[in-house]
């Protein structure tokens, strides 16, 4: 059987482990280094394993003719280039400071690169690369990241199985040996009926050697249902946008989680993990008393004389399960009583002998 695992730096993830939770700060810092550091601290306080940013420059990411693909009633900027220019002020020094702050706080530093320069900058700062859904078909970019030899978490929003398989093959051919795949719906925000968490199971079937996770864009509810459900369906990595204030304008605040949501999510996941238990069906130690006393045994229905041949009319089935199991009903019929058996006696094998 294939053992799914992924080296996340601070943790070696295996199928069924506590999920690796990524608080995606992205550009919700608004260009403030102090706020970015504060968000790292909040992500750690909330229990996330990693704080993740986005490293890009508008001029290398989008042409000036790139239209919006988000909900423009929430984020009214209608040009990708215009929106990205608002948040691309951080340079190498800022990202190095953020990585150092993560190390001091005790949380993994991550940032999604969106160009070649970002890959070079981030390579020594991170335990693995995160590749955005939109770059899943960017073959030269995949090759560049694959050649670093670092593990890769690949989001699969808006992708076909064939495209995902092609991206995995490209990364492997370039030298990447560990790849985790995140189910994602590339829509901001994602409605509940558009989340399609069942695709997590589909990815698990199609890519049995890879850990599967979930990148969530639904609006968080009190129970953090989407991420908890994703874990129950097999997600080993959970990623969700993170903010200090969900009421702020901007394309990644209104569908993000805050520190309270994060705490609830991790609490709910831990409860779900406790409830999930083991996969293999079988009696548990807690069921031992019920297995013995709530199951039935073959019970004598009326007095049976010693030496009499036992018939079906002599027997019934009652609790407890401490005698001969009804599984052996056909075997018992036709045997003889080794001694006189009283009414309501719980039949034991010592009470029986083979007919002559």
Which CATH number does the domain housing residue 317 bear?
3.90.1210.10
> Got the DSSP string for 163-232?
HHHHHHHHHHHHT---EEEEEE---SSBPGGG--THHHHHHHHH-TTS-EEEEE-BPP-TT-HHHHHHHH
pLDDT at 1: 45
Last residue of a domain, one of 229, 251, 276: 276
Secondary structure (3-state) at 260: helix
Place of tokens 């001969």: 324
Q: Are residues 240 and 213 in the same domain?
A: yes
Closest C-alpha among 188, 190, 252 to residue 227: 190
Q: Is residue 4 one of the residues assigned to a domain?
A: no
pLDDT at 125: 98
pLDDT (mean) for 147-168: 98
In this model, does residue 218 exceed pLDDT 80?
A: yes
Q: Is residue 3 one of the residues assigned to a domain?
A: no
CATH for 78: 3.20.20.70
pLDDT tens column, 48-91: 999 999 998 878 777 777 886 656 676 666 777 777 776 778 99
β-strands 336-337, 352-353: how paired?
antiparallel
Place of tokens 């670093």: 148
pLDDT tens column, 89-102: 899 999 999 999 99
Q: Is residue 327 one of the residues assigned to a domain?
A: yes
Say how far apart CA 153 and CA 244 lie, in whole Å.
Answer: 25
Q: Are residues 168 and 302 in the same domain?
A: no
Q: Are residues 242 and 336 in the same domain?
A: no
Q: Is residue 86 one of the residues assigned to a domain?
A: yes
Q: Is residue 5 one of the residues assigned to a domain?
A: no
Number of structural domains (the chain) is: 2
Q: Is residue 2 one of the residues assigned to a domain?
A: no
pLDDT tens column, 221-265: 999 999 999 999 999 999 999 999 999 987 689 899 999 999 999
Q: Are residues 189 and 303 in the same domain?
A: no
pLDDT at 235: 97
Q: Are residues 172 and 81 in the same domain?
A: yes
pLDDT at 9: 85
Q: Are residues 209 and 294 in the same domain?
A: no
Last residue of a domain, one of 253, 276, 299: 276
pTM over 0.75: yes
**Could you tell me the residue range of the domain that residue 264 belongs to?**
10-276
**Each residue of 116-126: b (16+ CB within 10 Å) or e?**
eebbebbeebb
pLDDT (mean) for 195-211: 97
Q: Are residues 210 and 98 in the same domain?
A: yes
pLDDT at 70: 59
Q: Are residues 145 and 246 in the same domain?
A: yes
Lowest mean pLDDT segment, chosen from 83-87, 169-173, 194-198: 83-87
Last residue of a domain, one of 252, 276, 300: 276
pLDDT tens column, 289-333: 999 999 999 999 999 999 999 999 999 999 999 999 999 999 999
Q: Is residue 1 one of the residues assigned to a domain?
A: no
Q: Is residue 214 one of the residues assigned to a domain?
A: yes
Q: Are residues 264 and 300 in the same domain?
A: no
Q: Are residues 242 and 309 in the same domain?
A: no
Mean pLDDT of the residues in the chain? 94
Q: Are residues 91 and 26 in the same domain?
A: yes
Q: Above pLDDT 70, what percent of the chain? A: 95
pLDDT (mean) for 196-220: 97
Q: Are residues 179 and 52 in the same domain?
A: yes
pLDDT at 352: 97
């Amino acid at each position: 059987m294939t053992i799914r695992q992924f080296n996340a730096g601070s943790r070696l993830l295996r199928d069924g482990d506590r999920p690796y939770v990524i608080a995606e700060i992205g550009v919700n810092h608004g260009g403030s280094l102090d706020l970015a550091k504060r968000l790292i601290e909040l992500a750690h306080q909330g229990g996330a394993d990693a704080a993740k940013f986005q490293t890009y420059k508008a001029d290398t990411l989008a042409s000036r003719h790139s239209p919006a693909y988000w909900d423009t009633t929430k984020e009214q900027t209608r040009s990708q280039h215009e929106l990205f220019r608002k948040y691309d002020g951080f340079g190498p020094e800022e990202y190095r400071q953020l990585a150092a702050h993560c190390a001091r706080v005790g949380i993994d530093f991550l940032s999604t690169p969106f160009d070649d320069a970002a890959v070079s900058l981030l390579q020594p700062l991170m335990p693995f690369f995160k590749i955005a859904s939109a770059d899943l078909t960017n073959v030269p970019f995949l090759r560049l990241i694959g050649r670093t030899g670092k593990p890769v978490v690949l989001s699969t929003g808006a992708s076909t199985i064939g495209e995902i398989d092609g991206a995995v093959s490209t990364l492997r051919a370039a030298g990447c040996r560990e790849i985790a795949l995140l189910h994602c719906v590339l829509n901001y925000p994602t409605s509940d009926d558009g989340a399609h968490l069942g695709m997590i199971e589909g990815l698990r079937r199609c890519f049995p050697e890879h850990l599967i996770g979930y990148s969530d864009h639904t609006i968080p509810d009190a129970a953090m249902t989407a991420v908890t459900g994703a874990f129950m369906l097999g997600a080993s990595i959970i990623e969700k946008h993170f903010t200090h204030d969900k009421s702020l304008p901007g394309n990644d605040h209104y569908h993000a989680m805050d520190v309270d949501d994060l705490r609830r999510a991790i609490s709910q996941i831990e409860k779900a993990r406790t409830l999930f238990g083991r996969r293999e069906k079988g009696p548990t130690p807690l069921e031992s008393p019920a297995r013995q006393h709530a199951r039935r045994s073959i019970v004598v229905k009326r007095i049976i004389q010693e030496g009499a041949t036992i018939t079906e009319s002599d027997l019934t089935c009652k609790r407890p399960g401490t005698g001969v199991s009804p599984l052996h009903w056909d075997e018992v019929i036709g045997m003889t009583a080794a001694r006189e058996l009283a009414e309501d006696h719980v039949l034991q094998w010592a009470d029986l002998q083979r007919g002559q």
